[in-house]
Chain A
Amino acid sequence: MTAPPAAGLPAVQEETGYPEHPPRMGFFTDTSLCIGCKACEVACKEWNRLPADAPFELTAMSFDNTGQLSGSTWRHVAFIEQRKPVRAPQAPGGRPSGDQGAGDLRWLMASDVCKHCTDAACLNVCPTGSLFRTEFGTVVVQEDVCNGCGYCVSACPYGVIDKREDDGRVFKCTLCYDRLGDGLVPACAKACPTESIQFGPVDELLERAEARLRSLHRDGVQDARLYGEDPEDGVRGNGAFFLLLDEPEVYGLPPAPMDPTRDLPSMWRHAAAAAAALVCGVAAAFLTARR
């Protein structure tokens, strides 16, 4: 694979075979702006007519009573309470912008979503061709084709896509494929009151993300880092990337996810060798057997 031009995400539509296509679209979720209102969860449920995650239960661990992304939850707001020294952004005068001295309790909130990977494991392993790459570079399930084999569920390194047991098929974020076709913004981004969820062409989003990271670092928020923006990572970058304020696993994200299909050639080689070993073993069993 040729290296993409300076820090951009690969133009995955061309690799898929779209001769002409709109720019690759995605999300930049800036978790430093998230206030945990869950408007994205609700807007997503409403627009996509997602069923409830029955039975409703309180997790009793935080304000997060959704728990995880699932077949019927395509945006999930994580709530993390930490005892950590808070280094607040400095006001221009050099004084802390708020009173954080006493408790040292900080809240991290982050709206998680399907990453729309460049190398999407779910898409690669799907045996029916139900999962496909759209002209926007996103990854979508064709529900009229899916036979509910569940392979994608085990393949996703982020634990995003899931099967609805009552329905039998798998479901996940479509990046509002229907809205995109009409030139609309995805429901979650539209509903987000703080612009924590930003939607647009991934190249533009990446520039914004890098500018935001520089400004946070300048303000002394050294923990800030981007997640999923690196085309050199195990999935060649995500169409939906994040700005995080702690390690990815604190948010329930894998620190170094990889598309398992990368190892497929090696797997087939080992399986062929093992099949050959089986043939040799059986042949040896017959050749050495006396009557």
Chain B
Amino acid sequence: MTTRGRAGGGATLTADSIAEEFTSYYDRPILKPPVWRELHIGGYLYLGGLAGASSALAAGGELTGRPSLARATKLAALAGITLSLAALVADLGRPARFVNMLRVVKPSSPMNMGSWLLAAYAPLAGVSALTDLTGRFPLVGRAAGYGAAVLGPAVSTYTAVLIGDTAVPAWHQGHREMPFLFAGSAMATAAGAALIATPAAENAPARRAAVLGAALELAAGRLMRRRLGMVAEAYERGRPGTLTRAGELLSLAGALTALAAGRVSVGRVSGGSPTGRGRVRAGSLASLASPTSRPRASHAIPGHPGRGRALAVVSGAALMAASVCVRFGVFSAGVASSQDPRYTVVPQRARLSTPPS
């Protein structure tokens, strides 16, 4: 490749000086913007995260004897994966040819690997949720649930590889941090769904997962944008910028509300009289996790209509909205970065002018 001769003495050009000398073909984009529709694929990124992390929470609920939490998260996983598959198929130019995704096994294609992953995960999530609802085949259901929990985290993060393996500057150049952003966002939104759907007595783990997820989401997003250099502008300007900022604020608000909900609930639960350990399955994590316990019958009691419950719902809604904003922000930032030739040329020029190390 021919390099520019104008930076005298082989001096390294800074990104700023390159940006000043930027030239293009009538300002036309070099890349083709993604042909994926935002509602479908942005939604797919979000729903896949919701489903995968929900399966992980469901396994935790199962292992620690929190049946309401387990059921709510299993249903969230099934709903998430069903809708995300529908979005994926609807976005194809030839939806009837969806099964062509499974005519080869192709490790160089993240979408092919993802299709196989979903082909394994979706039935597990489905069996897990349906057996829980109907109460039939509990052993099969539990096995499927654990299987879904093993694959779920991969379902939540592989989408970062999916969009990272493109020429889209805002996606490809964030490929190191994007999986962590997606993991945090998935954890926060699954925890959010659990907070909305689970009685206060069982949602302590969801509150913690909400805070951890939101923290990871915020930290990974910040780190990614700092390392992106000038390409970070795609995440900060215009509509992607609005979505990114809204995502951060909602995340923060959701996490703080979850903490507040925890304080209220803890006060209430610890005020109750410990009436001995509930029935705990052998090998369950509950023995580690719960020094005190409540009677198992309390599972049947619907959530306390108190302040803690209301706060949990508000927190859950904020976290889910945050995750939606983050995923759609990432999607639209990618589109924006592919439409402006600057994001293609300036980083490539900077790479050319840096001597290979």
Contact = CB atoms under 8 A, between A and B. Distances in A.
Interface residues of B, number: 96
A281 B100 contact: no
Nearest to B191: A285
A62 to B, nearest CB: 7
Interface in B3-32: 4, 22-26, 28-32
A163 B93 contact: yes
A282 to B, nearest CB: 5
Interface string A158-181: 111111010111100000000000
Contacts of B294: 291
A267 interface: yes
Contact of B2 (A227, A282, A287): A227
A163 B231 CA distance: 26
A159 B337 CA distance: 13
Interface string B142-180: 000000000001101110110111111000100111111
Interface string A256-283: 1110110110111011111111110111
A34 B72 CA distance: 66
Interface stretch (B77-85, B235-243, B244-252, B342-350): B342-350
A161 B186 CA distance: 32
B255 interface: no
Contacts of B352: 255-256
A284 B153 CA distance: 15
A100 interface: no
A147 B108 contact: no
Nearest to B101: A127
Contact of A285 (B206, B293, B345): B206
B101 A128 contact: yes
B269 A153 contact: no
B131 interface: no
A113 interface: no
A86 interface: no
B290 A288 contact: no
Nearest to A122: B167
B4 A291 contact: no
A14 interface: no
B183 A277 contact: yes
A124 interface: yes
B109 A127 contact: yes
B348 A256 contact: yes
Given A125-B165, A168-B92, A291 B293 contact: yes
A278 B93 contact: no
A267 B35 contact: no
Contacts of A159: 29-32, 167
Contacts of A158: 30-31
B198 interface: no
Contacts of A129: 103-104, 106
A125 B111 contact: yes
Given A125-B108, A155-B166, A278 B183 contact: yes
Interface string A107-136: 000000000000001001111111000000
A268 B64 CA distance: 31
B35 A153 contact: yes
B109 A260 contact: no
A145 B93 CA distance: 12
Given A126-B109, A156-B31, A249-B23, A286 B344 contact: no
B209 A281 contact: yes
B348 A285 contact: no
A267 to B, nearest CB: 4
A242 to B, nearest CB: 11
Interface in B248-275: 266, 269-270
A83 interface: no
Contacts of A285: 60, 191, 205-209, 212
6 contacts: A62-B26, A125-B111, A145-B97, A149-B101, A256-B351, A284-B208
Interface of A: 59, 61-62, 67-68, 78, 80, 121, 124-130, 145-151, 153-163, 165, 167-170, 225-227, 230, 233, 247, 249-258, 260-261, 263-264, 266-268, 270-279, 281-291
Query: Which 4 A-B residue pairings sit nearest by Cβ, starting from the closest?
Result: A148-B93, A168-B93, A252-B25, A274-B179
Given A147-B98, A264-B110, A278-B52, 15 more contacts: A62-B26, A150-B34, A150-B93, A151-B109, A151-B166, A154-B338, A252-B25, A254-B30, A255-B349, A273-B179, A275-B157, A278-B183, A282-B209, A290-B266, A290-B269
